[in-house]
Amino acid sequence: MAHKYKLPEEMELLKEKVRSTLLPVIPAHSGTSAEKNFLFNAKRTNAGRQLPPYYLCYFLLVDLLKFKNLGQFEKVSWSVPIDYNGTAYLVEHRKFGLGVFAQDPETQESEAGEIVKRIKKAINIAKPFFEWKASEAAKQSHLNVVNHSNRLFDRYCYFSEQYKVLSKEAEDRKDERIREQHGSGYSVSFPAYEIRRNAEWMALSAVDAFFSWTEHIFIHMAILSGKVTTGEDVANLADNEWPVKFKCAIDIETEGTRSYYDQLVTVKRQLRNYMTHGAFGKNGEAFSFHSGAGAVPLLLPHQRGSGRFSFYGDLGFNEKEVVDLIESFISHLWSDEREPFKIYIESSLPLILPMASDGQYISAISSVEDMESLVEHLSWQFDQAANMDW
């Protein structure tokens, strides 16, 4: 059974195991054979394309085993010279990807393949270190939080637009009847019925997409306002319910906000009832109660603290009203003092937690001009980093 390392107490023990697995790959040293100008003339090997992700290789070689990193230079993010059986190679992260680089790839391809195998095995052994490093990083603010808001919003817009198109078509064709002859008989169909059903499905998908988008951006808004500053804060908020995220992102006491909050919480519950709890019926009906009045819908409210069954409730789902409510809320969301939030979130830039903890974001959200300036500066920095223009 594999030994379970307790870190950081058993860090040295883990290092020794990883080093022995990596052998004969060791840090390059004064006795390593290398051609003149090797650092500038080394060429990419095909085998090096099979290396694990660049960050795992960096954590393994530089952070854990303390191999020397030559640092950044034009089109190179980091460069680690290694010795394999006395010959120099480079493990480098260049603009076009991570690789193993050699003086003569054609004659050294086999050795490069062995280096890749050793690194892969060592990374597998070093997994406890990566897990420990990740858990430690989550406690700090030295993290970026990905920003997928535009993609999520585009998904909402697509379903919402499809709902409107289908709703209009259903209305335009509401009086249409299609009669088909079948031998001596015939059938009559009503196209608007099927179109209206499809519109309803699109509306439900739009509402679901809206809540997915807001779950995402509410966390970002909380970061921008300085309420969330560490990885653990982000994880804890992500685990919370939608209403908690809403309140963390937006002050519900601002003008008009509480009404939106109350209505959207109700919609959220309706959507959960209809889509998550089996979709027994559009209004939550699961049974028909036998009574002197005939069949009476028996509802399953799925509400905490409520009775299990009910004959009534706020479970109706009017697609047009809900879509209109959502559109109105989105306009409200990005109005007035929240406009700077929109500028940053729609930039697709990640949320940089150190900028939340040191107050840079709080300063930038004070005005549209300040936020536009910050977004322009960060976009330039990310472009430079992507191009490795150091």
DSSP-derived secondary structure letter, 250: S
**Closest to 134 measured CA to CA, from 56, 71, 61:** 56
380 CB neighbour count, 10 Å cutoff: 10
Q: How far apart are CA 250 and CA 245, in angstroms?
A: 9
> What's the farthest any 2 CA atoms get from each other in the chain?
99
29 CB neighbour count, 10 Å cutoff: 10
Q: Mean pLDDT over all residues of the chain? A: 89
Say if residue 223's pLDDT is above 60: yes
DSSP-derived secondary structure letter, 381: H
Say if residue 186's pLDDT is above 90: no
pLDDT-based confidence at residue 275 (cuts at 50, 70, 90)? low
Tell me which amino acid residue 348 is.
S
pLDDT-based confidence at residue 310 (cuts at 50, 70, 90)? very low
Q: How far apart are CA 59 and CA 212, in angstroms?
A: 33
What is the model's pLDDT at position 9?
93
pLDDT tens-digit map of 119-166: 999 999 999 999 999 888 878 778 899 999 999 999 999 999 999 999
Task: Report residue 385: phi and psi, to 5°.
Answer: -65, -40
Alpha helices in 149-306 (DSSP H): 149-172, 191-224, 231-239, 242-249, 257-271
What is the model's pLDDT at position 384?
87
336 CB neighbour count, 10 Å cutoff: 8
What is the model's pLDDT at position 306?
43
Q: Are the CB atoms for 126 and 64 separated by under 8 Å?
A: yes
DSSP-derived secondary structure letter, 63: I
Q: Are the CB atoms for 88 and 94 separated by under 8 Å?
A: no
Say if residue 284's pLDDT is above 60: no
Give the pTM.
0.76
Q: How far apart are CA 224 and CA 218, in angstroms?
A: 10
Q: How far apart are CA 347 and CA 379, in angstroms?
A: 8
Q: Are the CB atoms for 261 and 214 separated by under 8 Å?
A: no
Q: Pick 159 or 179 by higher pLDDT.
A: 159
pLDDT-based confidence at residue 1 (cuts at 50, 70, 90)? low
Q: How far apart are CA 23 and CA 118, in angstroms?
A: 7
Candidate from 70-79, 124-133, 286-295 with smallest mean pLDDT? 286-295
Handedness of CA 352, 355, 356, 361 (dihedral sign): negative
Say if residue 278's pLDDT is above 80: no
Q: Are the CB atoms for 249 and 264 separated by under 8 Å?
A: no
What is the model's pLDDT at position 289?
65
In angstroms, what CA-CA distances link 233 with 216, 241, 379?
14, 14, 25
List all residues 6 or more positions away from 235 whose beta carbon is below 8 Å from its beta carbon. Answer: 138
pLDDT tens-digit map of 25-35: 999 999 999 99
